[in-house]
Structure 1
Amino acid sequence: MKKIFTMIMVAFLSLSALSSVSAHPHDHDKGHHKYSIEKQLAISKKAVKKYRNIEVALDEGFVGLVPGACVPNMGIHLVKPSRMDDDKLRIKKPEILVYEPLKNGHYKLVAAEWYVPAELTDKTPVLFDQKFQGPMDNHDGSAGQHYDLHVWLFKTNLDGIFKPENTRVSCKYAE
């Protein structure tokens, strides 16, 4: 019985530690690399799937749902401002959620995106063993640059899960 309890505690502590893993771009070789990419993606998908209901995302502080904000081959990006101003990368807490507008007026969660302001790092960030894209100018027109990584967790991207654009995502029903 004691052996089973110990094994359960080790498993629980391992999962608890993973929930707070942060991968600073300066320190990206620690923490999350002890898990396979497939395991990391599964953990991310499980943590993010609650946002399939866009109301949950909005209630938790994601913002940016505005008419005309649909990016072709990407979708509508909702950002969580409280996660945008640091270089910490948490596989369970993306800075951005990406939705596809549907014919019935609803939104389908299709991807998560991780974001790092360029001025906070001297290296290209890495997560899921993938280098981020960038640095690039901020898309909202604000000063500065950033790095980002799209991960198509909820809609297959025929070009690859980490490619920034997904030709299967449409803005046809965006308001």
Structure 2
Amino acid sequence: MSARLRPLIAALALAAVASLTLGAAPAATAAPAPKPAGDDFPHPDLRLTYDATVRYRSEQAAIADGYQRTDECVEDPQLGGMGYHYVKPAHIGSTDPTRPAAILYEEDHKTGKRELVAVEWVVPNTGQSWPVLFGQPFDGPFDFEPVGPHYSLHAWIFKKNPSGVFSPYNPRVHCGPCPEGHAHP
């Protein structure tokens, strides 16, 4: 191959890769990505969490990245719901803002699809001092199988929570469909 053709071939290869990449990007007319639930995060590191987990709006992306799907939805009649927990065992014990142990989904009762609503950190209780993240002490300790004694911290960064960003339950999250004629708050 001549020395004159090498730069041309390299440029064409680069253009081909760029066109494949651009073909995978959303069209310019597509709706913008949804903003985080209340983009006014009470702690700047929550932006790191959002950026690290926004790809999990796709349930399949979460599963492909090692989050294990559960089919039990958590709800308290007085406090609201947490939703379905997807747990990544390798992240249990992490207090890294970008590595939550669980991500939480709520089912859209019209479509049956699950929508990302929150993230959660889980730290086993080994007698250590109370864990803190984002300047917020964890809730607990709790003792639920299969985790055992642990602390947890929720962050409602994908669905606004009137009870607060770090509240364990969200009154706007429900496990079952609403009774006929009623709407979820």
Structure-1-length-normalised TM-score: 0.70
> RMSD in angstroms over aligned alpha carbons?
1.6
Partners of 2:105 and 2:147 lie apart in 1 by: 25
Task: Evaluate the alpha carbon distance shift between residue 143 and residue 63 of structure 1 in structure 2; reply closer, same or farther with a 3 A threshold.
Answer: closer
Q: Which moved more, 1:142-151 or 1:106-115?
A: 142-151
> Within 5 A, what are the aligned runs for 1:1-175?
38-66=43-71, 69-72=72-75, 73-84=81-92, 87-103=93-109, 104-119=111-126, 121-138=127-144, 141-142=145-146, 144-173=148-177
Question: Contact 2:141–2:150 (CA<8 Å) still a contact in 1?
Answer: yes
Matching residue's letter, 1:75 = G
- 2:15 is matched with none
Residue 165 of structure 1 and its aligned partner are, at CA, apart by 0.4
Percent identity of the aligned residues? 38
The structure that has the greater radius of gyration is 2
Question: Contact 1:37–1:129 (CA<8 Å) still a contact in 2?
Answer: no
Structure-2-length-normalised TM-score: 0.67
Question: Contact 1:124–1:134 (CA<8 Å) still a contact in 2?
Answer: no
Unmatched runs of 5 consecutive residues or more in structure 1: 1-35
Partners of 2:66 and 2:147 lie apart in 1 by: 23
Unmatched runs of 5 consecutive residues or more in structure 2: 1-40, 76-80, 178-185
Matching residue's letter, 1:71 = V
| Stretches (4+) displaced over 3 A | none
Matching residue's letter, 2:47 = A
Per-residue CA deviation, residues 123-172 of structure 1 (Å, 9 max, x unaligned), is: 1100010000111102xx33730000000010111010000000000112
Residue 37 of structure 1 and its aligned partner are, at CA, apart by 5.0
Which structure has the highest helix share of the two?
A: 1
